[in-house]
């Protein structure tokens, strides 16, 4: 009897393992869009009301996602296309990002070092549970100091602490630029992003919920503060 139970248990466990492996082998599609009252990025004001669609794939910890920004209220806001390749292993992640906007050069397939509109970034991050930490550094593209024309290797360090409060999901964030960077408009070490974000899923039907959020963003370096509202469609 015991042997039969063990065999049944082992068979069931084997089925679970096989199903898990098969699930990991599946390619998932990323398709979503954000609508923002104001386009803020790393404590910097990048544009007015914006529409930001994204499309990509995820497979075995690897993801390749393209995201865009299109101005809604101000048609003069630069159009943007960013491509992110990321690999996640447990709580650890790393990857590369190609940022592009149609300013100053409108040609996408143009990679001259000092006049391209592309900026290439490498990043690494680790989720400690109570706080998520990441470091981003530009290593190629349009990232030079105006004073001497040398590559700036502009970097950005971010700490994010998620928590729940009053039926909302919250995120508290602190970020800084470690050294001088024209890319982030700093003259040395500077705290450039302190923000608090509240997220709520508004359930519309039994199978569909609409995530909405409100966010207070402060940039101590530029001494500016913003309040942003947004929603996500996915």
Supply the mean pLDDT for the chain: 89
- Which CATH number belongs to the domain containing residue 82 in this structure? 2.40.160
Instruction: Evaluate whether residue 19 is within a structural domain.
Output: no
Q: Residue 106 has what DSSP assignment?
A: -
Instruction: Evaluate whether residue 69 is within a structural domain.
Output: yes
| pLDDT of the residue at 4 | 44
CB 155 within 8 A of CB 138: yes
Radius of gyration of the chain (CA): 21
- 115 pLDDT band (50/70/90 cuts)? confident
CB 173 within 8 A of CB 160: yes
Q: Does pLDDT of 15 surpass 60? A: no
Instruction: Evaluate whether residue 21 is within a structural domain.
Output: no
CB 102 within 8 A of CB 75: no
Bridge partners of residue 40, in order along the sequence:
45
| pLDDT of the residue at 104 | 74
Instruction: Evaluate whether residue 192 is within a structural domain.
Output: yes
- 24 pLDDT band (50/70/90 cuts)? low
Percentage of the residues of the chain whose pLDDT score is greater than 90: 74
Measured over the CA atoms of residue 38, residue 44, residue 45 and residue 46, the dihedral's sign is negative
Interatomic CA distance for residues 55 and 83, integer angstroms: 10
Percentage of the residues of the chain whose pLDDT score is greater than 70: 90
Other Cβ atoms closer than 10 A to 68: 16
Instruction: Evaluate whether residue 20 is within a structural domain.
Output: no
If one counts the domains in the chain, the total is 1
Bridge partners of residue 30, in order along the sequence:
56
CA dist list (Å): 101 to 3, 177, 217: 65, 22, 23
Interatomic CA distance for residues 70 and 75, integer angstroms: 8
Instruction: Evaluate whether residue 104 is within a structural domain.
Output: yes
Domain that holds residue 76: 28-233
CB 186 within 8 A of CB 157: no
Instruction: Evaluate whether residue 83 is within a structural domain.
Output: yes
Give me the half-sphere count of Cα atoms (radius 13 Å) on the Cβ side of residue 82: 18
Q: What is the tens place of the pLDDT at every residue in 80-104? A: 999 999 999 999 999 999 999 988 7
E strand or H helix that includes residue 10 = helix 2-25
Instruction: Evaluate whether residue 227 is within a structural domain.
Output: yes
Interatomic CA distance for residues 186 and 66, integer angstroms: 28
Interatomic CA distance for residues 220 and 196, integer angstroms: 14
Q: Which residue has the higher pLDDT, 202 or 174?
A: 174
């Amino acid at each position: 009897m015991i042997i039969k139970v063990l065999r049944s248990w082992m068979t069931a466990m084997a089925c679970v393992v096989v199903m898990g492996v098969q699930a990991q082998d599946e390619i998932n599609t990323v398709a979503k869009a954000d609508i923002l009252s104001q386009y803020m990025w790393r404590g910097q004001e990048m544009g007015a009301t914006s529409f930001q669609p994204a499309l990509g794939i995820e497979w075995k910890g690897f993801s390749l996602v393209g995201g865009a920004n299109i101005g809604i209220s101000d048609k003069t806001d630069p159009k943007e296309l960013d491509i992110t390749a990321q690999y996640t292993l447990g709580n650890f992640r790393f990857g590369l990002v190609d940022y592009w906007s149609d300013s100053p050069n409108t040609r996408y397939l143009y990679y001259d070092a000092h006049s391209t509109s592309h900026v290439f970034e490498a990043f690494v991050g680790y989720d400690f549970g109570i706080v998520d930490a990441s470091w981003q550094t530009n290593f190629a593209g349009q990232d030079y100091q105006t004073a001497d024309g040398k590559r700036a290797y502009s970097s950005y360090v971010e700490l994010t602490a998620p928590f729940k409060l009053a039926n909302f999901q919250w995120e508290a964030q602190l970020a800084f630029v470690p050294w001088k960077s024209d890319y982030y408009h700093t003259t040395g070490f500077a705290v450039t992003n302190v923000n608090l974000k509240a997220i709520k899923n508004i359930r519309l039907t039994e199978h569909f919920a609409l995530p909405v959020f409100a966010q207070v963003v402060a940039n101590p370096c530029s001494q500016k503060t913003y309040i942003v509202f947004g929603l996500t469609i996915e």
